[in-house]
Chains A and B, each alone.
Chain A
Amino acid sequence: MTSSKQTTGETTPGTTSRDTSAQAQAIDVVGVDRVFRRRRDEVVALQDVTVSVAPGEFVSLIGPSGCGKSTLLRLVADLDTPTSGSVTVFGKSARQARRDQDYGIAFQQAGLLPWRTVASNIELPLKLHGVGASERRARSCELLELVGLQDFGRHHPDQLSGGMQQRVAIARALAERPRLLLMDEPFGALDEITRERMQNELVRICRETSAAVLFVTHSIPEAVFLSDRVVVMSPRPGRIVEIVPAGGGMGTSHERTDEVRDAAEFFHTVATVREHLHGAPVVGARAVENR
């Protein structure tokens, strides 16, 4: 039934160069189900989900509300555990990867600690893991520059706009130089203009850090602009409909500039993702359902 699901190891134009080495995938999700049981109700949040992210690759999860895209990200982050199936991060279990701090994470809410300055918010994960004060200071200076907030280190979060707070949250996620970034609608609460600027900055940050990214969004252009591959999901039960490669004329996810937003290939990929989201050709068994 789910014949359209692509095999996970398939190389796409955007990832060819990075898949050559024999190292472990950044994320490997195999046959994962997640069922929420509440008294007698059962909600199948994810059904038979198989997907992987190569080191340095940018993969977006897209789908309507309730399709389980956030749940999938939370499984990778070990904020939740799968009912069945396996989730591995750099060849280890998700739990071990979390304990080893193999990923950085950013949520839709910036989630900064309001009583700490911007710099000490960025230093928080380093401080929790016993990094010395001078090294923390140096790293937060570096990161503030990376996200363009070098003059705001001593401010408190309440003195910053929403977009600036979100950049601080991204800097915090990058503090320990993770090889994997998990982002759950980090730009969801921002206006369109700030959002596009943040997307451009994220492309630059990924290029400079060469981290792999799993990115949850419900904006089709955002997913296509940022990603090497876009994973299209459908709700009830949450499953993968199609994995759309976003490369070709747009180049890899590290090569995106504002011109890509006007490229024919970009519009074509957006249309492809939209087709799969609205799901006409996918449901073979229910094709008779016409009014």
Chain B
Amino acid sequence: MSAAISTEVSAQDATQPQPRPPLLNGLRLSDLRLSAVLAPLAVGAAFLGGWQLAVDGLGIDPYIVPAPSAIWDQLVAARSNIVDGMVVTGRNALLGMLLGGLVGVLGAVVSSMVKVVDQMAVPIVAALSVVPIVALAPVLYTMFGAAVDTGRIVVAALAVSIPVYLNTLRGLRQVSAVHRELMWAYAATPTQVVRTVTLPTATPYVFTGLRIASSLAVISALIAEYFGGPVGGLGKAITSAASSSNYPLAWAYVTGSIVLGLAFYVVTLLVELWFARHAPRT
């Protein structure tokens, strides 16, 4: 600690930008207004109306694209099945997110403390982030057994851990020089420094990682179902409805998975904004 500080030439090095969560361009919880929601809703309604008119007017067959009204009918008729599917897939995605989040955060903490681990992790993380992780699903079914959801949870966890790891690691390195020197001036113990400055600085970054990972978790958990494993989830339901030529039902399940993905995203976004609510504006 003291060596790191004394190699700095002057206090001018302290003029770093304050910690700020990336990618949100200064969006804040208090900026969210009804008008911000109404405009996209209007666009969505117009899109659905155009879709309905096109299917009706051009006489498009349901196997190409079913009309929104037909999808809605199936959505209402099969709602309990769809909700059940959302629960099964959502549970896999959520467990995967918690597991992957934990692995990502712990890995980042270790990498931030041990330089060798950080350097060793770089190629592994780079490889993992370009590999289509769902492709591992069949292998994992063999590994953990095709009658349980474990393989799906592991797939989601792997997909989640990468963005969480990268963002947390970045967050842990954002401690500003002035905060570091302040802690040194207070003769704070290493544990106190971590608790008082390092972790609070990194927290918004962890949730940025989780927000990015949230849609990955749902996608991975759902696509993993395409490759086998127990029935009941949305992915299985989509494939079986499509293979029995019930296209509006398949689309109804797709709608369910869109809602599930959005729910994950919105919840993690709100949590992120909550943790970033006092970050200085830039």
Check if B245 is an interface residue, CB within 8 A of chain A.
no
Task: Collect the chain B residues with CB atoms within 8 Å of residue A158's CB.
Answer: 278-281
B200 near A128 (CB under 8 angstroms)? no
A113 near B6 (CB under 8 angstroms)? no
B178 near A109 (CB under 8 angstroms)? yes
Task: Collect the chain B residues with CB atoms within 8 Å of residue A70's CB.
Answer: 10-12
A124 near B5 (CB under 8 angstroms)? no
B200 near A115 (CB under 8 angstroms)? yes
Q: Given A81-B6, A128-B192, are A109 and B279 neighbors across the interface (CB < 8 Å)?
A: no
Check if A14 is an interface residue, CB within 8 A of chain B.
no
Check if B91 is an interface residue, CB within 8 A of chain A.
no
Q: Given A157-B280, A158-B278, are A98 and B185 neighbors across the interface (CB < 8 Å)?
A: yes
B residues 153-187 touching A (CB-CB < 8 Å) = 176, 178-179, 181-182, 184-187
Check if B9 is an interface residue, CB within 8 A of chain A.
yes
Tell me the complex Cα distance, A103–B187, Å: 11
Check if A40 is an interface residue, CB within 8 A of chain B.
no
Check if A80 is an interface residue, CB within 8 A of chain B.
yes
Tell me the complex Cα distance, A43–B278, Å: 40
- Annotate B14-28 by CB proximity to A: 1 below 8 A, 0 otherwise: 110011000000000
A125 near B184 (CB under 8 angstroms)? no
For A176, the closest partner residue in chain B by CB is B186
Tell me the complex Cα distance, A73–B18, Å: 23
For A117, the closest partner residue in chain B by CB is B278
Q: Which of B196, B197, B278, B281 has the largest number of chain A CB atoms within 10 A? A: B278
B196 near A128 (CB under 8 angstroms)? yes
Task: Collect the chain B residues with CB atoms within 8 Å of residue A78's CB.
Answer: 184-185
Check if B41 is an interface residue, CB within 8 A of chain A.
no
B12 near A101 (CB under 8 angstroms)? no
Task: Collect the chain B residues with CB atoms within 8 Å of residue A74's CB.
Answer: 10-11
B159 to chain A, nearest CB (A): 29
Task: Collect the chain B residues with CB atoms within 8 Å of residue A103's CB.
Answer: 185
Tell me the complex Cα distance, A137–B79, Å: 55
Task: Collect the chain A residues with CB atoms within 8 Å of residue B187's CB.
Answer: 98-99, 101
Check if B77 is an interface residue, CB within 8 A of chain A.
no
A79 near B186 (CB under 8 angstroms)? no
CB < 8 Å neighbour of A124 from B2, B12, B196: B196
Task: Collect the chain A residues with CB atoms within 8 Å of residue B131's CB.
Answer: none
A-B contact pairs, 27 of them (CB 8 A): A36-B9, A45-B9, A70-B11, A73-B11, A77-B185, A79-B184, A80-B6, A80-B8, A103-B185, A105-B185, A107-B11, A107-B14, A108-B14, A109-B14, A111-B14, A111-B178, A111-B179, A111-B182, A113-B179, A113-B197, A113-B200, A114-B279, A115-B200, A115-B278, A124-B186, A158-B278, A184-B11
7 nearest interchain CB pairs? A111-B178, A70-B11, A156-B278, A80-B6, A114-B278, A109-B178, A105-B185
A residues near B (Cβ < 8 Å) are 36, 43, 45, 70-71, 73-74, 77-81, 98-99, 101, 103, 105, 107-109, 111, 113-115, 124-125, 128-129, 156-158, 184
